[in-house]
Structure 1
Amino acid sequence: MEFSTKSLAFYIHESKDTIDIIGDILNDVGVYINDDSLKIDLKGGHVSDTKVEGLIEKDFKNIFSNRIYFYSETQLDSKQLLRLYDFAAAKGLLITIRSTNYMENRQAYDKPVAFISHDWKDKDKIARPLAEGLSKRLCSVWYDEYSLRVGDSLRESIEKGIREVEKCIVVLTKNYLNNHGWGKYEFDSIFTRERINKEKIIIPIWYGVKKEDIFKYSTSLPDTIALIWPSLKNKDEEQYKKEVEQLISKLHTALTGKSGVDY
């Protein structure tokens, strides 16, 4: 009879309490093993208010492999790692702790899932947070600050990126719609791929634009369901960041077909 096993993985944001967070999870691992609500089709997740993300693989039965993966934004030293490994081993658990160095290396060598097309004026507010948020969810993207190297041909790199990814995230802002240089070149390349290959690869994100603006730029774009980047107007910084994280989680789901978990 065939059966599968359960493993656990957690993403932990940068924190001075990373060791304690991991220790608490190891102490309460039974909570995560036995919670049926966590048995979901999921490759990544995000929980901004608890600072911990839970990920559990698909089609689990009732057998736990005793293996737990931790992805931490905080770089732990060898003594801290040894302490945690010993603590887990005493409980009969096998753990793997991967730091930001691991994630950065993975980002550098993984084949990107999506290409982020944006105007440089929107880099700080939208494009970089998108790239970082997806990277933290272990979803590799083609983003100029990550993917371009000194000496690369910009045109060749962009074209290669657009050809090889599964989806293209297009950040539609007033800056982008008025960009008749590289922004327009990228969009035309993406649209050409859609038309030639007869596939839907564009995931639009709107910010500060209306349907009429989008229609003037491309008559077909308003028909594509878009995500709306939140505005800071009438809300505090904490609420804004929460809405950004929710959008990135929705985007992650659209890219990977996997849902997020909040608990």
Structure 2
Amino acid sequence: MSTDQTSGRRSPFDLSGKLAVVTGAGRGLGQGVALGLAEAGADLLLVGRPDRQTETEKLIRELGRDVEVIDLDMGDHVAVAATAAQISASHEVDILVNNAGIIDRHDTVDVTDESWNKVLDINLSGLFFLTQHLGRPMVERGRGKIVSIASLLAFQGGIRVISYTASKHGVAGITKALANEWGAYGVQVNAIAPGYMATDNTTALREDADRSRAILDRIPAGRWGSPQDVAGAAVFLSSAAADYVNGHVLVVDGGWMAR
């Protein structure tokens, strides 16, 4: 257990004894967040598509934390409700990190019903219903932390990603609405808006030399972000250090929004 060396008190960032659910933890930001929570002392339930989270599970076990993998398609809302009920029946969840999400790049005039609905079903509706079901026991107990991964496109419009932009604006709105409802019950609901991260979602941007240079020229830090950058913010918002932080969308962008 982490303690303050001068006082012997437990660090407010220590997550020992806490159980965290992380969705979409197989790679990228989700994997980074899951490992960050484990390093801070939390045990993990990894929720996501089948056979996607084996590496993350192995890395968490190597850290000495308990971990369980649960298969779930976040776009299947009946399965989301059933899985949440299963989790609540057998576990007391202290932390929920909503990370699972997809992006679909199209000119707006070419976006189909199928494409639009797929992105919104996973990024927004699936996130809401999982949060609703796992948040209910937190409200009843009077404590809990919910952290959702939004995006800079919760503030901006983006280009050729209208469904993703709509979903991330929605994540920010859900975060604020739930904070208003659940804050009085001891549940803090916040979000993280990552900037330009070196993940699969940005491969096309990073491989476009002109676009990549234009992005880096605007970032005061002068580099793409990493999953570890987001993990630190997630640990903070999941910890007692953030007990009075509620309804906030924390930008982790190397200074992009300040430019």
How does the TM-score come out when normalised to structure 1?
0.42
CA radius of gyration, larger in: 1
